[in-house]
Structure 1
Amino acid sequence: MTAVDIVNVHKHFGAQDVLSGIDMQVRQGEVVCLLGPSGSGKTTLLRCINGLAMPDQGHVSVDGALIGRKVRNGKLHDLTGKESAAQRARIGMVFQHFNLFPHLTVLDNLVLGPRTLKLKTSAELERHARELLDRVGLADRAAAYPAQLSGGQQQRVAIARALMMNPDLMLFDEPTSALDPQRVGEVLETMRSLAQDGMTMVVVTHEMTFARQAADRVVFMADGKVVEDSPPREFFDSPSTERARAFLRLV
């Protein structure tokens, strides 16, 4: 079944066309890695998927629901702020930078969002948070503050925080780019575990080994367009375009 349906998506900022007619689908349980040079539109596409940016043309659907808009009386209308927030709650997003609240403990960072939405009791939220911290290998750091953690640990907390909302889809925007090289592996291992558990994931990354090993498909973007969309082995071993071959030579 289709988890994400992207149809003829265009996005521009001023005179710059950032996305130029993107068509792409992601199946449930699939891991899709978005590769490409800086400025190719990968992050903007992620933002369109979770409603942080709205396409100027075309549309994005997640699990059959239009993102950011609804049809009423045969016309499209923007969702209210509350409706958009509820929609985004089902889509986990992990950014380059961890965006943890520095004045809150790890545990409090995890429970803040769902507690505000009153999704469960405090005891249920704390139990769920501790289970997720154990899953990402940080069960002993619940009482720590972000400044007491390494970059890799902070990013794993950010992943656990996104999972607190029980998302149907996880989006990752270069989640290892701000990390020291020795910390990259622990974050990628957490992501591999999610993939093995069947989580639907769209990942913007420059980690070619991760894309080769963990992705079901690689989508290569350049100049706001999808240039190649293929299984990892096919993309890395025999890319069909010179643009992709040039990119792989550089990385």
Structure 2
Amino acid sequence: METTEKIVEAYVRYVKGWATIPNLRCDGQFEIDLIAIDPVNLGRYHIETTVSGSQSYSKLTAKEFSLEKHNQRVQKAGQRRTVGFFVERKFGQPQIAAKLREYGFTDDNSHKVVVTWDWTPEAEEAATRAGIELWSFQSIMAEIANSIRHQRAYFTDDTLRTINLFVRAMQGLQRDDVKPESTPPKAEAGEYWVYRNWVHKRARLHRPSCGYCNFGKGTQGVDSRSTGEWRPFPDIEAARTYLDGLGYDDAATCGVCM
């Protein structure tokens, strides 16, 4: 089980509060990364994770999937970063569907989810047409951090324990009031920033020097408007007013910098 898959399972289990079963093996050498069941409404989730540290493969794309290219070593990585790969190889195989039925999955009660670092607008459209939800791995990390930031209990889960130590370290650095080496451009000089993700109806209030904010450029250093937007505010009162006015159930201050 890869580290990113462990993080996703920790998020689903401890933040969402769902029951999980990872790495389900199916006939035909297929495997399901994770299934989860919401105990409240009994909704079922088939979750696949694809997170790459390579800049070239960080985004899920809508490029055409080819099984022939997928079987070629030099083409494999790029092919596995397409929506078509998940449609055909992860969600469309009868062996996988048969295994899911053993756990009560039906077309009416189940969700198909791909967790990835980022995606292109075309990939988002293709996923929507295929009935696939896209979850941001970056947002998952931020939500885990926000949920455990005030906890001082000892976590028996290795993944949560590592993330908890990271959050505490980041909080210590923020309290040191480390200043950025250079002054951001005037257009980006808001005292506080709010990131609004209109796809997942989620918003977070940040300090400008926060690693998740980066003066309105986010973790990747680019101003992407495909799934949301950054907005600067001169003071925290104005930022909170905007945050509250969005009407999102998932609207809060950053778990690292605030």
TM range (shorter): 0.3 to 0.5
- TM-score, normalised via structure 1 length: 0.34
By relative contact order (CA 8 Å, sep 6+), the higher-ranking structure is 1
Q: Which has the larger radius of gyration?
A: 2
